[in-house]
Each structure stands twice: as structure tokens, then as C-alpha cells.
């Protein structure tokens, strides 16, 4: 073998996939797809939180799952399922801070040094967004207890980083929010993937029909206008409407029940006010 290469390929080193020993023998290859699927299922949950708490309109442009990265999180938290990290790019953090306390956002090149207010805002955002994302990844299970006193010298093995790319509708600047997951959180997600129940071979057709996904349409508001007013509507016009106390929930055009809209941690919930079987 002297004078001959053991690996014969022309693939650049940066394009090679490096296996991590701690991930062998587990369904870790499914974790990025699971994370993107669960977070992408509710794309407005973080933007609604930002709008309701900080009065800023942002549009989510992309969700990226990264396994190989060198950056470390700005904030680190300990939870019941493992350690979570959080970082936010400064243009978005500054806009949130100025909107919350009042003032005018300065251009990035003229931005002052990081202040204590920015650090407090970053810590608060990290806790809230970690709870929101944990609820998505854990299929609705809340993450109540988060310890922010984790030591900065404690070494953490971060397995994945979720990058949420946002664009501010006010400034047009794109910024990202990063959520880091350690190996313990990844193990919990892998366990959930492994423990997903499969349909028994002898399951009846009737029982399988009840598991089919159904799209529910909720009518939040309605108004009556003359046809002449409708024809004069332009892009950007604002209509004065009042949210209904009892919202009709439809499947296609068929009314199913009445419900009420509530909000918790930046997430909208629909509460049924009637029994579905009685309709």
C-alpha cells in the first residue's frame, strides 16, 4: 500500500459528513427533519409573540437546522429535558429594545456598546422563546422550570442549532434568532421519535378514519359593506371590525361548533364553547 492513497475521492473536506460516536446507533438523522417539521408547522408562533409583546412586525423567511457550527450561545439555560442556548443578532435585538422602551433605532455602524438593558432583554427573550419552541418540539408539553444560573465555565456539548431568519417589515433588515440544543435534549427528541406508536395491522377501517387530518376554519370577524365600498378598496386600506366573542368554526362550509380565541405566551388558542357531538 506504500505510495497509494487509502481514500480515493475528489470530494472537498468541507463537504464530507463526519460521524459523531455519540450519535451512532440512534435515529439522530431524523432529528433535523423532525425539528424543521414541528417548528414549520406553526410559522407565526414567534412572530405573533414579538408582535404582541414588543409591537414589531417581522416576517419569518427561513428555518435552518445546523449540526456543525463553531459559535456559542449568548445565553444558556438548564431545563428538565437538558440545556438550551439562545442568541439573537443585534439589529433585531436593538429594534425590539427601542420599540419596548421607546426611541429610535440607530444604524448598526453607529450602535453604542452593549448595554445592561440589552443583556436583560436578551435574557428575557431567550427564556420566552425557549419555552415557545419547547412546546412545539414536545408536542404541546410545557417547559415551566428554566434555570438561568448555569455557570459560564460549564462545558456543554451542543448537538444542534436552530436558526430562525426574520425580516423586519419596518427596516427591511434580516436578522436571526438562534436556539441551541444539547445532547440531552437531542436524546429526548430521539426517544420521542422512537416511541411514536405505529398502527396495528388489524386496526379497523373505521378507527383509521378517525385519525385522518381535518382542516378547521375559524371566522374571527365579519362585517357588511355596500358593494360600491368593496369595489373601491385599495391595497393597504384598513377596515374597522370587531373580533367576535363567539367564533364559528367550520369544516369546509359546514359549521361545526362555536369557540373563543385566547392567547398565552404569544400563542393563540381556540377553546370550544359547544359540544361537537351536539351539533
- 126-152 pLDDT, tens digit per residue, is 999 999 988 888 877 777 778 887 777
Choosing from 164, 194, 224, the residue where a domain stops is: 194
Cβ pair 261, 267 in contact under 8 A: no
| Helix H or strand E segment including 118 | helix 116-137
pLDDT score, position 13? 66
In a domain, 219, yes or no: yes
Residue 166 sits in the same domain as residue 45? yes
Phi, psi of 159 (to 5 degrees): -90, -40
Residue 220 sits in the same domain as residue 122? no
> Which one, of 165, 278, 157, 270, lies nearest residue 219 by Cα?
270
pLDDT score, position 1? 44
Give 112's pLDDT tier (boundaries 50, 70, 90): low
Q: At residue 65, does pLDDT exceed 70?
A: yes
Question: 89 to each of 71, 105, 239, 245, how far by Cα in Å?
Answer: 12, 14, 35, 39
Lowest mean pLDDT among 46-60, 130-144, 170-184: 130-144
- What percent of the chain is predicted at pLDDT more than 70? 79
Q: At residue 110, does pLDDT exceed 60?
A: no
What mean pLDDT comes out for the span 47-71?
A: 90
Residue 90 sits in the same domain as residue 127? yes
Domain of residue 37 covers 13-194
Residue 17 sits in the same domain as residue 154? yes
In a domain, 156, yes or no: yes
What mean pLDDT comes out for the span 232-247?
A: 85
Distant-in-sequence, close-in-space partners of 183: CB < 8 Å, separation ≥ 6: 22, 82, 157, 159
Choosing from 152, 167, 194, the residue where a domain stops is: 194
What mean pLDDT comes out for the span 226-250?
A: 86
pLDDT score, position 93? 92
- 182-212 pLDDT, tens digit per residue, is 988 988 888 877 765 545 555 555 666 777 7
The count of domains in the chain is 2
Q: What are the beta bridge partners of residue 130?
A: none
CATH at 116: 3.40.1550.10
CATH at 228: 2.30.330.10
| Helix H or strand E segment including 189 | helix 183-194
Residue 141 sits in the same domain as residue 183? yes
In a domain, 79, yes or no: yes
- 68-102 pLDDT, tens digit per residue, is 888 999 999 998 888 999 999 999 998 998 888 87
Cα distance between the two ends of the chain:
79
What mean pLDDT comes out for the span 21-32?
A: 67
pLDDT score, position 136? 85
What mean pLDDT comes out for the span 208-221?
A: 77
Q: How far apart are CA 70 and CA 231, in angstroms?
A: 55
> Which one, of 98, 88, 86, 116, lies nearest residue 56 by Cα?
98
Q: What are the beta bridge partners of residue 58?
A: 168
Residue 130 sits in the same domain as residue 217? no
Residue 49 sits in the same domain as residue 125? yes
Please provide the average confidence, as pLDDT, over all residues in the chain: 80
Q: How far apart are CA 97 and CA 118, in angstroms?
A: 7
Residue 138 sits in the same domain as residue 224? no
Residue 156 sits in the same domain as residue 225? no
Q: Is the dihedral of CA 125, 61, 212, 259 positive or negative?
A: positive
- What percent of the chain is predicted at pLDDT more than 90? 22
Amino acid at each position: 500500500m506504500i505510495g497509494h492513497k487509502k481514500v480515493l475521492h475528489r470530494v472537498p473536506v468541507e463537504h464530507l459528513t463526519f460521524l459523531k460516536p455519540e450519535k451512532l446507533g440512534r435515529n439522530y438523522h431524523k432529528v433535523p427533519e423532525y425539528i424543521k417539521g414541528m417548528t414549520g408547522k406553526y410559522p407565526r408562533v414567534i412572530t405573533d409573540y414579538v408582535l404582541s409583546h414588543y409591537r414589531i412586525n417581522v416576517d419569518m423567511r427561513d428555518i435552518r437546522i445546523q449540526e456543525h457550527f463553531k459559535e456559542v450561545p449568548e445565553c444558556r439555560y438548564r431545563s428538565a429535558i437538558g440545556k438550551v442556548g439562545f442568541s439573537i443578532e443585534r439589529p433585531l435585538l436593538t429594534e425590539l429594545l427601542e420599540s419596548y422602551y421607546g426611541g429610535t433605532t440607530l444604524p448598526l455602524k453607529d450602535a453604542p456598546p452593549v448595554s445592561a438593558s440589552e443583556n436583560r432583554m436578551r435574557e428575557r427573550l431567550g427564556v420566552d422563546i425557549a419555552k415557545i419552541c419547547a412546546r412545539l418540539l414536545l408536542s404541546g408539553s410545557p417547559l415551566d422550570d428554566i434555570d438561568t444560573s448555569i455557570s459560564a465555565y460549564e462545558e456543554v456539548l451542543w448537538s444542534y442549532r436552530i436558526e430562525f431568519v426574520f425580516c423586519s417589515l419596518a427596516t427591511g433588515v434580516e436578522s436571526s434568532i438562534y436556539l441551541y440544543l444539547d445532547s440531552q435534549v437531542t436524546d429526548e427528541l430521539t426517544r420521542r421519535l422512537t416511541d411514536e406508536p405505529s398502527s396495528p395491522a388489524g386496526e379497523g377501517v373505521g378507527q383509521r378514519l378517525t385519525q385522518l387530518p381535518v382542516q378547521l376554519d375559524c371566522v374571527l370577524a365579519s362585517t357588511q359593506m355596500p358593494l360600491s365600498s368593496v369595489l373601491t378598496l385599495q391595497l393597504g386600506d384598513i377596515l374597522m371590525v370587531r373580533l367576535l366573542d363567539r367564533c364559528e368554526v367550520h369544516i369546509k362550509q359546514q359549521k361545526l361548533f362555536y369557540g373563543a380565541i385566547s392567547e398565552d405566551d404569544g400563542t393563540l388558542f381556540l377553546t370550544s364553547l359547544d359540544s361537537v357531538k351536539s351539533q
